[in-house]
Each structure stands twice: as structure tokens, then as C-alpha cells.
Amino acid sequence: MAEIAVSLVGRLVETISSVVEKEATLMRSVPENTRFVKDELETIGAFLCVVENMKEDSSNSKYQMARIWAEQVKDLAYDMEDCIEEQIAALSTQSSSWSQYITNYRTLRPFAAKLCDLRSRIVEVSDRNMRYHLVTADQPIYNHIMVFFGKVEPGYQESSTEKDTYGVWKKGVVPWGEASKASTSNKETRTPKVVAIVGMRGSGKTTWANDIYEDKKNAEKYECCVWITVSQDVNVTKVFMDMIAQLSGASSSQDNQNGEEDKLAQHIQGILQEKRFLLVFDDLWTTKEWHRIKRALPKVSKSGSLVIVTTDIVHVAKDCTESNGHVHRMSLLSKQESLNRLKDSILASKNSEMTYEDIEDFEELDLDSLEVPEPPFNSIDQILRKCSGLELAIETVGKLLASKSPHKWGKLCDDLPSLLYNDPSLNKIREAMIQSYRRLPPYLRPCFLYLSIFPEDSDINLETIVCRWLAEGLVRDRTGMNPRDVAERYLLELFDRNMVVPSILSNNRYCKTLQIHPMMRDILVMISQEERVSITVGPRKSSRLLVKRVRHLALDGQSDRKLSRCVELSGIRSVTVFSEPSESIDALICSSQLRALRVLDLSSATFQITQRDIQRVGELCHLRYLNLYKSNISELPSSIGMLPFLQLLNVRKTWVTKLPSEVTQLSRLQFLRASRRTEHSCHNRRNPFCCDSGVTLPQGIDNLQDIEWLDIMEIKDNSGSKIEALGKLASLKHLGLTGITMENNTKVSRTLEKLSSSLKYLYLGACRNDGVLSCLPISEKKGKWSLEFPCLQRIKLDGHIGKMPHWISNSIRLEVIKFYRTNLQQSDITFLERLPCLAVLALRENSYISKTLVFYAKAFRELRTLEIVGLPKLKTVIFTEEAVPHLQHLAIRCCTLRLKGRSNLEFQSADLDDGVK
């Protein structure tokens, strides 16, 4: 388990160079030692990659020794990281004054001494590897290339096109009418059909494929059938030899089957092209290997020939097939299906400890009875949640339950996390989960392991994950790519590999949060503890384990042990708070040991974070990420300006009304999220008229040249210079402004013009007094409109805009438009109907004032979601034939109106008021 050490070493090599440059003028030994350390770490990193790819075998003493060596390297890397972080913090305050120069010179001496010590330890670690021949350079290293997808919005999960059940899909896999016709006319040929089954490991893909294979093999419609199980380290030559053996009925070890890949592929083609065949390639992992295997398939064969591929990875499944219709995505079982499978598994066991009375009661168990649980089956609901619809989990847990008396099931359920890692009867599900984790590329493993911080069954916000990965330094640099884009690609890869699943969709059908399967999370927690990555302190949590040196701390309730006895605070890099801990938050932040902290996330706290808790947050000089979402604070301390590395500051839905001037000293700040909680704040998520109030801008906001995300800023009472300063933020991609008035609209318009080339998201809110966004109507210059937003993807307008701005219809990348109080009419909506990418249109709170709204033929060709909410004047909505052809979700609320042409729609779901006819 060397992936964490690899990640650490990689980050250290990148940061050491900056230290060398800044220290070169102060002390001669420092640059010499840092260069030596950098070179040695690069070499050690290469050897760690070898350890990472060694086959895990508990009986292999060499592997066990190499693993211990990797742990020693990780400890060394942790110490090196602490040392360098400390010095970087000192350098960040360096000025040109002579007194500051002397101060840094004095602090450099202990740094130089630590470097000498670390150099000696690196030499010892290197010598130990050579002395015992733990890892040799000739061992294979498997390279993992980052997957690049097409145009996919980060966080969006494309819904499956398959609406049918397994039985329906199975019948459609092979056109039996075509096969029957082919059986009477063997001369008809065509390209072999390739279908794929994709889903999470343990979801039953192989079982389904085998069902089809045996069924259609026994139907005697195929002249030859082959089943190949493909491993991750696939040997294509061996695959071809196995195929030849099954096709010829001979042993794959015969000498006449030896040969080069190309010759073997040609030989297989010669056998298959004259036959109707059925081939199954089970557990395929890469598109590269598929294209190598595909060479053995004939381009033309007898009609009805079929190839089935199973894989955990969506893009592999799509690459193997010709269309989405040939891909079946395995979904997790529903709660009812899970209960039926669990009952079947337990009742079918020959080792059942159940009495006849228990069996009778168990057979009658249904979902309604689970709502009012009674002994001895009151733990069934908890077991179903733990299995979460995964077939393999239900099967293995069912067998374990059958071997125990039902009265013991409750304790067994509580002990499942530990049993999952240690009980031999759960080997199948454990190995499936561990294998999924091990098959992740090295750059994804630390990122995925990081998710073990969050509690079971929690909805993990995608935006939070991306920003925290960046703050923790878990995202590797990619040439020509913004680090945030790389982090979003990481998330897409985890979705693509079925390692995480979307849990909450926003109104525009974009994924906002993800979940990990409970059993996968249990495995991650165990691996995380072994790797000493994270620990959760709370009642009956891992605080009882003897884990001292970890990087990430989660506080989830009262603990019977003092925090300092559970962890070594000096090495903590992140603190995430869920339930109220034994020790107060302010005492924890004030701790002199907690000075290397990079991430402080209080956004998920189930108790109120107060002003006192954050008063000394400025002493955490290494902080990169500070999330105070929904906390009960009214102002930020002035010491916030003492956080030179801060990248994200989130004070959304707090009582903060204005930002302190010290915020403008945070030169590395990239994300500033601020919105004011008011007495009239909406607590009902379904209320369509709930909007956040803005926070007042400080003077000097233009100092934040790295800022990419800035919302929501209140500009009603701001001076013109503050508004104009926004126009100097060249990196800004996400902007939210409220409080626009007749007096400041001209300055806002000029600012928008300066930012128009970079903005991807724009929210503009008019002052509630006049409700006019008069900055939007723009003048015409030489026949062209003066304002264009070439990158704009989402826009939200709140306030009367008069005539629809021409630049909106010219923003060809616009995907989401939301209107509030805009007083639009039919001509304004018609103005938008040709937008080529528009997927979401929301008309809310008096945004439309005509009595009739018509969606014309061939209009809004890409629209997926339509929301009509709070429009009292609207009485009729008409959908003409061929209008909104791809509409999937229709929401109509707080309206009394008539729908005409509803039969012309084929949407997937609707949320309609009782007043809709």
C-alpha cells in the first residue's frame, strides 16, 4: 500500500524547487541539501511505484518487507513535508527590509539542521532497500493514463437510455427472428453484434452474462461458443490461445497454438468467419486491450453472431459497442427486490439456525413491517441499507445471517464493518471491493481514499470534494489544463468506474452530490487506517484504535478519550466536523499543535458554530480551505488576513453582512462564496421565491487577481470605484451581484463588458425597491451588439429587464437560464428558442406576465428541463407538435393553468400542481 507515499513524494518534489530559489542567497548548505533531497525523492518515488504494483500476497515475505519499507518512506515524506511547509510559511512573510532579512536568516538555521537530518534518513532508507534487495528497478511498472471524456459537464450523470428490465433487454440482445431466418438461410452475413453489460463490481454482471450464455448456447442456434475471463494484467496471446482451445476443443497448452498475436488473431478470424458464434469477454478493463482482442473478430460473419462484454467502466462499455442502445447499465436493486433476494438467500441456506416459527414469520416479512420493526427481525432494515441493493453483498450477508440465530442478527449487523474485513464468509464481497480500489490508477487512489472522511450514507457535495482535493494537493498538474479541470476529470473517472454514484440532482438535473456504497466505505475506512490517512473520533468510532499519526481528522460526536490521546495533532492536515465533539472547536483551533492545518470544514456540523469558535482562525497560517457554511457567525475576524495560502473562503448563509478589508490581503484566494442569511430566509427548499442576500464588498477587491468565483456581492450602497474594481479581475469565471439600481447600472454594465470574455456563470439581482435590471438593455454599435459572453453557460436574472437583451440569444454555449421577476412576454421567449445548447429554462416569480405561453414546432431542440413556477397571470401553456422534442422533466408549481398539446410531450417525470389541467 504505497500509493499515499507516492502521492506525498510527488508533491514534495514539486515544492522543493521554490524553497531552493528563495533560500539560495542566505545559506550555502540549504540549496545543496534540498537539491540532494529532491533528486533522492525522485528516485525513491520510482521505486515506490514498483511497490505499488507488486502483487499483494500475505505469504510473500519480500512483499511484506517492501510494504514496511514503503511505510518508512511515508513517515520520512511526512516529516519532509512538515519541514518544508514550515519554511514556506516563513518565506511567505519575507520582506525586503534588513531586519526581516536577519529574522529569516536566524529561522533558516534550524531549517538547515532539519534538512541535514532528513538527508541522513533518506540515505538510510535508500541503503536499506539496496541492502535487502526489496525493490528492483527491473520489476514492471504499470502506467495508467488519465481518461479523457468528451464534452461532459462536471458532476452531470448521463441517465441510462435503457428503461427496460433484464428480461426485455435479454430478448433484445439477439434478434431471434433474424437468427431464425439465418438458420434457414446460412448464406446471410453481417457484422457481429457487440453488446456490453456495465455496472458496479458485485452488481451481477457476470451472472447475467452467464445466464444469456447458457441459455443461448443450449438453444443450439450457435455453431461455436467461447467464454473468456479477462484479467486486469491481460495477456492477449494467452486470451487468443484460450479462444483457439475452446473453438477446437483441445488443450490450450498444445504446441501448435504457440505463435505471435497477429498470427493467432488471423487464425481465429478464419475459424469464426464461416460460423454463427457466441463470444463472452468477462471483466474487461481497458479500451486498449479490447482493441487488441478485437483483431481476432471477423468483420463479417453469419447473421446472428453475438459478442458480450462485461465491464465495471462505462467508457469501456461504450467503446466496445456501436451505440448506447447496446449498453445495459446494471442498476442496484430496489429495497423490495433486495428484501426478496435476502429472504431467498437466507431460506435457501442448508445451515440455517432459524426455527420453524421464525421461518414462517420471516417469509411474511414485507416493507410495511420493516417500518415498525419487531424482534427478532428488527435489524433487517439496517442490513438492507448496508447492502444498498448490491447483489453480491446481499448474497454473502444472507449466508452469514443464515448461520446465526435471528436473535443475534442485531449484533452481527453492528459488527459488519469489522466482519467485512476479517470474516472468511464475507471474502467474496471484501475481495470485490478491494479489487475495485486496487484497480484505480495511482493518481485516483488517494483522492478516492479521501472520501472515507465522510460518514456513511452521507451526500457528499461535489464542489466541496473538488475544492478540498485542490487544497490538499491531491491533484496532479497536467500540461495545458487548469488544476480545477483536472480535479473535475478525477470525479468523472470515479463516476465512470462506478466507484461513486450520484445521490441528489439539482432542479436542472445536474448531479450535486455523490454517495459511496456503505460496504465500499467500510473497506476505505479500514485501508485509510492501515495507511494512517484519516481517523474518525466519536462514540464507538475508530477513536478506540491505536492510530496516532494521521493526516485527516473527522469529529463525529462525543468520545470517551481525549483527542490528544487518539491522534498526534501536529501532523493533522484537515479537520472536518460533523457532530459536536467532546472538546470545543475554539479550544481545538487555539491548540498550539494544530498549526499545519490546511483544511477546516465546519459546513457539515449538526450544531451551531459560533463567533467564539473562529476568533483565532488566523493563527492557522497554512490554511488553504475555510468552510463556514450556515454557521452562526456575524463577522469574520480581522486575523483572516494572516492566511497567505487561503484558496477558498465560504461564508454562505451566515449572518455576515460585510467582508473585512483584510480579505483583500488573501492574494491566493480563488473562491469567495458569501451570502447573507436574513430573518426572511427561506427554510423550505421547494419554495421557488427563496433567494440569498448579498454581502458588502470591501475596498481593494481588485487585489484578488487569482479569484475565479465571487458571489453574492451586494453593490447597492457601494461606491463606483468598488464596482469598477471588479472589472480588473481577469480570472473571474463565476460572478453574482445583487442590489443593482438605476444609479449604479451604468458602472455594472461597463464592468460586465470587461469580464464578458471569461464569465461562465452570471447572477444579476435588482434591488428589491425598484426591481429593474436596467444594465442589461444595451445600445447598438455599428450594427453589432456591444456586449457578448462567448463562454457563458449559465445565467440567472432577478428583476425587470425590459426588452430581452440581444446578447443572450447570441450566447451559443448557454445551457441554463433562470428568470425571476423579469416581466417577460411571448416575444422574449421566442427570442431564446434557437439557442443550440439550452437544456434548462426556469420561469419563476412573475418572470412571465402574458396569459398564454406557446412552445412552437422545432423550438428549444435541446431543452431537457422546463420549470414554470409562481406565474399568476399565466393561464394557458401550449405545446405544438414537434416542440421541445427532448423534454424530460416538467415542473409546474404555484400556478393555475391549462396545458394544451400535452400529448405531444414524452417527458420522463413531471411535478405538477393540482391547479394544472
Instruction: Kindly report which listed range (4-13, 397-406, 881-890) carries the lowest average pLDDT score.
Output: 4-13
Instruction: Kindly report which listed range (62-76, 220-234, 281-295, 301-315) carries the lowest average pLDDT score.
Output: 62-76
Distance of CA 557 to the CA centre of its chain: 26
pLDDT at residue 758, as a whole number? 93
So where are the chain's domains? Answer: 1-132, 193-252+260-329, 335-430, 443-516, 532-653, 688-814, 823-916
Give mean pLDDT, residues 51-77: 66
Spatial contact of 420 and 519, defined as CB atoms under 8 Å apart: yes
Closest CA relative to residue 428, chosen from 380, 394, 404, 381: 394
CA-based torsion, 501, 520, 445, 565: positive or negative: positive
* φ, ψ dihedrals at 818, nearest 5°: -130, 130
pLDDT over threshold 90, residue 426: yes
Give mean pLDDT, residues 678-700: 62
Give mean pLDDT, residues 308-337: 90
The model's pTM: 0.87
pLDDT over threshold 50, residue 607: yes
Separation between Cα atoms, residue 82 and residue 618, nearest integer Å: 19
**Residues forming beta bridges with residue 727, ordered by sequence position:** none
Closest CA relative to residue 672, chosen from 705, 631, 642: 705
Closest CA relative to residue 624, chosen from 597, 595, 647, 642: 647
CA-based torsion, 151, 156, 160, 161: positive or negative: negative
How would you write 651-707 as a 3-class SS string? EEEECCCECCHHHHHCCCCCEEEEEECCCCCCCCCCCCCCCCECEECCCCHHHCCCC
How would you write 630-649 as a 3-class SS string? CCCCCCCCHHHHHCCCCCEE
pLDDT over threshold 70, residue 757: yes
User: What is the band of 27 on the pLDDT scale with cuts at 50, 70, 90?
Assistant: very low
User: Which one of 3.40.50.300, 3.10.450.50, 3.30.300.30, 3.40.190.10 gives the CATH number of domain 193-252+260-329?
Assistant: 3.40.50.300
Separation between Cα atoms, residue 316 and residue 331, nearest integer Å: 17
pLDDT over threshold 90, residue 307: yes
Give mean pLDDT, residues 727-734: 94
Separation between Cα atoms, residue 750 and residue 746, nearest integer Å: 6
pLDDT at residue 906, as a whole number? 77
Give mean pLDDT, residues 517-527: 93
DSSP 280: E
pLDDT at residue 95, as a whole number? 47
Q: Which residue has the higher pLDDT, 655 or 250?
A: 655
Give mean pLDDT, residues 726-740: 93
Instruction: Kindly report which listed range (136-150, 358-372, 437-451, 580-594) carries the lowest average pLDDT score.
Output: 136-150
pLDDT over threshold 90, residue 684: no
Tens of pLDDT, residues 243-290:
999 998 765 444 444 568 889 999 999 999 888 999 999 999 999 999
Give mean pLDDT, residues 308-322: 93
* Residue appearing with cell numbers 439600481: 741
CATH topology of domain 532-653: 3.80.10
pLDDT over threshold 60, residue 346: yes
Separation between Cα atoms, residue 571 and residue 594, nearest integer Å: 8
pLDDT averaged over the chain? 81
pLDDT over threshold 80, residue 180: no
Q: Which of 417-431, 473-487, 763-777 has the highest mean pLDDT?
A: 417-431
C-alpha cell at 711: 458571489
Determine what percent of the chain is predicted with pLDDT higher than 90. Answer: 41
User: What is the band of 61 on the pLDDT scale with cuts at 50, 70, 90?
Assistant: low
DSSP 916: B
pLDDT at residue 772, as a whole number? 66
pLDDT at residue 443, as a whole number? 87
Tens of pLDDT, residues 734-754:
999 998 888 888 888 889 989
